[in-house]
Amino acid sequence: MFPWLAFQHPWYLVLLAVLPLLWVLSYRSLSGLGGWRRIFAIGLRTLVLMLIIFALADAQYRRTNDRMTVIYLLDQSLSIPEPHRQAMLEFVERAVEEHRDKDKEDRVGVIVFGREAEVELPPVDFTPPLDRVESLLDRQHTNLAGALQRARALFPHDSTKRVVIVTDGNENLGDALAQARSLADAGIGIDVLPVPLARPSEISVDKIALPVDVRRGQPFELRVVLDNDTSTGQKVAGKLRIVRKAGETERTISEEPVELDAGKSVFARSETIQESDFYTYEARFVPDDVRADAYSQNNLATAFTHVRGKGHVLFIEDWENPGESDHLVERLRREEVEVTVQPSNQLFNSLAELQRYDTVVLADVPRSGGSDANNVSSFTDTQIEMLVRNTSELGCGLLMIGGSKSFGAGGWTNTELEKAMPVDFRIKNARVIPVGALALVIDRSGSMDGEKLAMSKAAAAAAVRTLGPRDFVTVVAFDSAPYNIVPIQRVGDGNRITRQIDRITSGGGTDLYPGMVDAFQAIKKADAAVKHMIVLTDGQTPPQAFDTLTREIRRNNITVSSVGVGDDVAQQLLTSIATLGGGKYYAVKNPNVIPRVFMTEARRVAQPLVKELAPPVSSDVVADHEILRGIDTAFPPISGFVMTSVKESSLVEVILRSPVPAVEENSTILATWTYGLGKAGVFTTDSGGRWANQWTGWSHYDRFFSQLVRWSMRATGDTGNYSLSTDVRDAKTRVVIDALDKDNEFLNSQMLTGSVIGPRMESIPFTIEQIAPGRYVGEFASADPGSYLILIVPPGGQGMIRTGVNVGYSDEFRDREANTPLLETMAKLPTRDGQPGKLITAESGATFENAEVTDPLVAVNPYRRDLAPAVATRDIWPLLVLACCCLFVGDVFVRRVQIGWAWNRVSAWVMRRQATVESPVSLSRLRSRKQQVQQQLATRHAAARFKINETRAPSESPVEALAGSAAQLATRTSRTVERMSDEDLPAADSYTSRLLKAKKQVWQDRDGRKG
């Protein structure tokens, strides 16, 4: 009805049908208002209801304009040659300069895309200079769909919209055609300029095909597939090298010259492996003539296979105390358990390295350790996460064996490893908790600005996280004066303390002595069993009585360690402080080492977690478990262990417990539980070096520890008749599993589960479904290059099937030609209320030739007006609600306020005011006359009363007499009014006023008679 009015929710307009009912009800209910007032009130009510309905329907104001916005989508992926990427920018400048209509304020925007889309230039109404692409992109993939989606969100609402796509069309992420249809349906035009790709010779190693799970000594075939993609049919000579890796062992199994024909070539080799392990195969091709190969990134492929055996254990020991667990390692090997010993300073670097092991044992290993700054080592957060996820998601066992450097005493508190264990490393019971106190004195002078102060703050925060919630901590920063950043307090959850530490800033000189004094005064007040101070500085300090101060600190049972950062430190002074304070001096050259030093020193505060037993006591068996199978004698006594707290979970099984202390939750010796797909356990005393030295001669020593280790191993038995294959294509990996029973019949309705961990340690969704008899398929996204570890768990307790996929290079290096059919389809999509887009080719205007864009687009104008004009809409429901409120007030006013009555009252008041001002004498006359009238009325009223009584007929009843009296009273009132002439009253009095006065006088007379 009105082209300028639209409704977002028009179905609310159905409510207009209630208007007739409103009219009928209002006409009846407002009958007392009179004619015109009733009609006016009904009209206001009608408008109020209509405005409410329009607001519910989300009324919008519509405005049409002829402005146009064009957004260019420029492909910056690796498949586009660098000269072509620069030519794209020139193409945009030329097209905009020639065709943009400045008078209509047309706009231009630029989006560049690779794996993700970034806005290089938001829509502007001028010709922008485009010298280079400023956005940082991941060029390993092409996500055209993401760029189209970003462009749709970037368009302003008040203009006609068109995108111009400049790409080769080889997308490997997303669905560009579906997104293009969505844009066309929304009325957005699509023009496409294809980027042609040269087709040079390209050699790639497609894949290595081999069984993912083989038996030891069983021959199998390994096949390497190579692809010579050439348009000339020329052969390419080179060398193919195949390598097999297991842990740190690498062996070249083949290195021979090959000649590749055009197309795919397959090279097969027979393999037999005698040792169980998780193996990685790599195949690399090196051409004799590098000019015959356009890209070298796709010349390497990898694959995994698992050779099953009796189980393999990774035994990690403290690198500062090698050989502490040699007795246990030797006994495990006697029990035919394959053990690899690894020092804690030469750890694994990827999850793939851990797949050769079925259990990982941490034997009295601290998180960080080292005697000086050059030898400090620690488990990184990433390595700890690998250990935990290797258990929870890949089924590997995880055991911790105690000692003075393990559990909470080893700095493992508040780590991911603690979450994977059946016990907490903190003591929650206040009756037995040993408390420590830590003081940190940190240099914040101007020379500490930058990385040194940042690492110092990170180190302080890491040290706080190492402490328990009931431990004490204080932090003092100093430059020329001390600053009490964290007053002495309990750690609690540590969050507030770390926030306070993070606020430390640099500035000023360097004076260490006052900082040490303040920290000493604070920490000596703490009621703690162990107190330790760490001093950090990077420069010289004025001479003070440091020796006297340090000795005083040491006399108060507080130890002091010092850290010197850089080459200009007062090394002699810091060494003396550490020596007199009973601590260590660390000379740090690299600031990144500071957190490791602080975590190592913070372990001193955690030492009270160690429970020494004198005399030694034997552990009590709390529950029967398969680990204790065949052990029918009492356990030898132990002289100590590390106290922990049992987790509140029904999955935790406490097997052995010390009778001391009496608090059961803190006296656990052996506890286990199932964590995810794997098993985890703790043995809080050692394996025989210090506390359990009487165990080494125990007859069941070998049985106990071998059964503990075997219990924790992931299932390595018969995996049944399952075969598994993987295929990587289009940034996805497809896993195909064929399941047969012992009679080689299909196994159907199997509940197969699996998990995948990507190269960035992320879990990837992976669901397995049956698609045919005995065949199960799962698929997961594998766009990032790197190793993907896959675990398949068959039903019925069978062994897990482990494999992996290595994505060596992006799909950008697979496509050698532009995807012209896709681009043509996108350009031909019908646009709503407009014409389809244009495919910009040599015939229609421009193309890429020799890394330049030829012709200035004479035939194809991206700003052509062949799309429906833009309609800008604006919500007006807030204005409607405001108008509704105003009209509602008017409706109430019309119904509640009588304008004529109010006017009469006002007029009478004005007249009285005028009479008061103009005729003061008339008031006196009025009062005199009023008294005379009152006297006359009183006299007549008395006479009339007696006269009525005398003339009443004897036969009249009282009611009749009363009625007659009333009639006589009315007659007298009328006569009295007539006798009151106008000349005796003020001119302002009307007939109504005289009548009221007369009536009042009559009632006074009647009251007088009654009296």
252: left (phi over 0), alpha (psi -120 to 50) or beta: beta
**443-480: per-residue pLDDT in tens?**
999 888 888 899 999 999 988 888 888 889 999 999 99
Burial state string for 640-661 with b = 16 or more CB within 10 A and e = fewer than 16? bbbbbbbbeeeebbbbbbbeee
Please state the rounded mean pLDDT for residues 493-519.
91
Mean pLDDT of the chain: 82
988 band by pLDDT with thresholds 50, 70 and 90: very low
Region 218-226: what's the mean pLDDT? 88
Indicate if the pLDDT at residue 858 is higher than 50. no
- Decide if 621 contacts 387 (C-beta within 8 A): no
Mean pLDDT on 321-332: 91
Residue in 90, 274, 276, 179 with CA at minimum distance from that of residue 850: 90
User: Worst-scoring range by mean pLDDT, 288-297, 378-387, 531-540, 623-632?
Assistant: 288-297
Candidates 766, 758, 754; CA nearest to 800 is 754
pLDDT band at 953 (very low <50, low <70, confident <90, very high): very low
The predicted structure's pLDDT at residue 377: 77
Q: What is the DSSP letter of 1?
A: -
If you average pLDDT over residues 578-591, what whole number do you get? 89
Number of H helices, E strands in the chain: 22, 46
- pLDDT of 605 over the 70 cut: yes
Phi, psi dihedrals of residue 772, rounded to the nearest 5° = -160, 170
Question: Is pLDDT of 683 > 90?
Answer: yes
Lowest pLDDT segment from 230-234, 332-336, 760-764: 230-234
Closest CA to 226 of 199, 253, 249, 256: 256
The CA distance from 122 to 70, in Å, is 11
Please report which confidence band the pLDDT of residue 607 belongs to, taking 50, 70 and 90 as the band edges: low
- Give the torsion through C-alpha atoms of 322, 328, 333, 334, to 10 deg: 140
> What is the Cα–Cα distance from 108 to 95, expressed in whole angstroms?
10
Contact 98, 67 (CB under 8 A): no
Would you state the structure tokens that stand for residue 991, as one six-digit string? 């007939």
What pLDDT does residue 72 have?
A: 95
Neighbour count for residue 893 (Cβ, 10 Å): 12
Sequence-separated (6 or more) residues with CB below 8 Å from residue 975: none
Which of 610-619, 739-748, 762-771 has the least mean pLDDT? 739-748
Rounded to whole angstroms, the Cα distance separating 354 from 468 reads 31
Q: Please choose, from the candidates 126, 49, 143, 162, the residue with its C-alpha nearest in 3D space to the C-alpha of residue 783.
A: 143
| pLDDT the model gives residue 851 | 47
Cβ atoms 203, 236 nearer than 8 A: yes
Structure tokens at 734: 């497809």
Q: CB–CB of 392/674 below 8 Å? A: no
- Provide the 10 A C-beta neighbour count for residue 170: 22
Question: What does DSSP assign to residue 745?
Answer: P
Q: Check pLDDT > 50 for residue 946.
A: no
d(CA 596, CA 619): 36
Task: Quote the pLDDT of residue 204.
Answer: 84
Task: Write phi, then psi, for 990 (nearest 5 degrees).
Answer: -95, 180
H or E stretch at 213: strand 213-215
Q: Which H or E run includes 303?
A: strand 300-308
How many Å apart are CA 251 and CA 462, to the nearest integer? 41
- Residue 987 binned pLDDT confidence (cut-offs 50, 70, 90): very low
Measured between alpha carbons, how far is residue 549 from residues 555, 669, 929 in Å? 10, 43, 114
- What sign does the CA torsion over 51, 52, 56, 57 have? negative
Which amino acid, 130? L
Residue 734 pairs in a beta bridge with 727, 779
Beta-carbon-side half-sphere exposure of residue 513 (alpha carbons within 13 Å): 11
Q: Is the peptide bond before 595 cis (omega within 30 degrees of 0)?
A: no
CB 535 within 8 A of CB 576: no
Nearest to 563 by CA among 575, 581, 545: 575
Amino acid present at 905: R
Spell out the residues 6+ positions from residue 499 whose beta carbon is closer than 8 angstroms to its own: none
Compute the average pLDDT of residues 487-503: 91
Q: Cα torsion for 885, 886, 888, 890, to the nearest 10°?
A: 170
Instruction: Report the pLDDT averaged over residues 67-93.
Output: 88
Range with lowest mean pLDDT among 94-103, 839-848, 970-979: 970-979
Of 232-241, 642-651, 765-774, 863-872, the least confident? 863-872
Give the whole-angstrom CA distance, residue 746 versus residue 753.
Answer: 18
The yes-or-no verdict on residue 430 having pLDDT over 70 is no
Which pLDDT value is given to residue 793? 83
Task: Please say if the pLDDT value at position 698 is more than 70.
Answer: yes
Q: Classify residue 713 by its DSSP letter.
A: S
H helix runs in 614-750, sequence order: 701-712
- Residue 361 in this model has a pLDDT that exceeds 90: yes
**If 0-12 CB within 10 Å is exposed, 13-18 middle and 19+ buried, where does residue 906 land?**
exposed
| Per-residue pLDDT tens digits for 820-855 | 899 999 999 999 888 898 888 754 445 565 545 554
pLDDT of residue 1010: 54
Query: Quick one: what percent of the chain has pLDDT higher than 70?
Result: 84
**56 pLDDT exceeds 90?**
no
Q: For residue 379, give both structure tokens.
A: 């488990």
Please list, residue by residue across 708-735, b when 16 or more beta carbons sit within 10 angstroms of its beta carbon and e when fewer do. Answer: bbbbbbbbbeebbebebebebeebebbb
pLDDT digits (tens, 9 = 90+) for 327-352: 999 999 999 899 999 999 888 888 88
Portion of the chain with pLDDT greater than 90, in percent = 32
> For residue 516, is pLDDT > 90?
yes
Name the band, by pLDDT with cuts 50, 70 and 90, for residue 34. Answer: low
**888-to-37, 48, 488, 798 alpha-carbon distances in Å:** 15, 6, 66, 77
Confidence of residue 414 (pLDDT cuts 50, 70, 90): confident
Tell me the two tokens of residue 351.
């999850």
Residue 528 has pLDDT above 70, yes or no: yes
Angle at 581 between CA 579 and CA 583, to 5 degrees: 70
489-503, 854-868, 903-917 — which one is most confidently predicted on average? 489-503
Query: What φ, ψ does residue 233 adopt, rounded to 5°?
Result: 75, 15
Token readout for 785 is: 């290059």
* Residue environment code for 766-787, b if the CB has 16+ CB neighbours within 10 A, otherwise e: bebebeeebebebbbbbbbeeb
SS3 content of the chain, % helix, strand, coil (to 5): 35, 30, 35
Rounded distance between C-alpha atoms, residue 666 and residue 424, angstroms: 10
The pLDDT, as a whole number, for residue 386 is: 92
Nearest partner of 618 among 667, 653, 652, 682, judged by Cα? 667
- Amino acid (1-letter code) at residue 723: S
- Where does 491-593 have alpha helices with state H? 495-502, 512-523, 546-555, 571-580
| Own/partner pairs, 838-841, CB within 8 angstroms, 24+ separation | 838/191, 838/192, 839/191, 839/192, 839/194, 840/164, 840/191, 840/192, 840/193, 840/194, 841/194
Q: What is the pLDDT of residue 839?
A: 87
Q: What pLDDT does residue 434 have?
A: 65
Amino acid at 461: A
Dihedral (CA of 922, 924, 926, 929) sign: negative
Query: Which residue in the block uniquely carries the two structure tokens 């601290």?
Result: 366
Q: Contact, 77 vs 838, CB < 8 A?
A: no
Q: Residue 332's pLDDT is what?
A: 94
pLDDT 10s digits, 258-309:
988 888 889 998 888 888 888 888 999 999 888 778 777 788 888 888 887 7
3-class SS letters over 76-141: CCCCCCHHHHHHHHHHHHHHHHHHCCCCCCCEEEEEEECCCEEEEEEEECCCCCCCCCCCCCCCCC
3-state class (DSSP) for residue 796: coil
What pLDDT, on the 0 to 100 scale, is given for residue 185?
Answer: 92
Cβ neighbors of 404 (< 8 A, separation 6 or more) are 364, 607, 610, 642, 690
Minimal CA–CA distance to 479: which of 541, 424, 530, 410? Answer: 541
Most confident of 203-212, 426-435, 819-828: 819-828
| CB atoms near residue 896 (< 10 Å) | 7
